[in-house]
Amino acid sequence: MINRGPSTTGQRLPMSRFSFILWALMLLAWCAMRYPAMRRARRQRTAVDKRTALDITLLLACGVGLALLPILWRLGVLSGVADRQQGLVPIVLGVVSGAAFLWLFRRSHKDLGRNWSVTLEVREGHQLVTQGVYAHVRHPMYASFLLWGTAQAFLIPNWIAGLAGLAAILALYAVRQSREEAMMRETFGLEYDAYCARTKRLVPGVF
């Protein structure tokens, strides 16, 4: 009788758990990048406030879709409902999307500096940022979050928790994009019109 050694059954890290760990690392990296900007924003005075209850509700929905639901899924709250098989290709696509998200998110924050706000606000001394990634697209921060939602869809092998973040971001963008541009147009007038004429919203040279 040949002794093949101890069984490796149950010792290998399941693909779904591995991809969740990658997603969690991406979330932690985002938190580390966003926290300094949040602290800085709290010290800035607001000149124009266009926040609405819908705006706050959609931001909360993004928090649920991009963070809470994947964690609840991993804890088994969904009881396996809408799970899918996880494979190497979705994991690779998720990592690539996540890396692009983190790069664009960090670069957008760096270019905005003190002009950033999580809601529809104009800070005192607010300047129109047209350099860096903003020289090519008007809403790179939204574009980065769409990449986050895409990465989550690949890394979380559940149709509900995986797609919840992307759905929430699309809803937020659909509601806020026109209102945000109207607010900027009220603030900067013809300068913002000229900026819009030479840039796209999300994808350079395309859209």
Q: Is CATH 3.90.1150.10 what the domain over 15-197 is classified as, yes or no? A: no
pLDDT in tens, the chain (207 residues): 334 433 333 345 699 999 999 999 999 999 999 988 888 877 778 777 888 999 999 999 999 999 999 999 999 999 889 999 999 999 999 999 999 999 999 999 999 988 888 888 888 888 999 999 999 999 999 999 999 999 999 999 999 999 999 999 999 999 999 999 999 999 999 999 999 999 999 999 899
Q: Radius of gyration over alpha carbons of the chain, in Å? A: 20
> So where are the chain's domains?
15-197
Smallest CA-to-CA distance from 145 within 164, 180, 124, 170 is with 170
**Token code pair at residue 17:** 């758990």
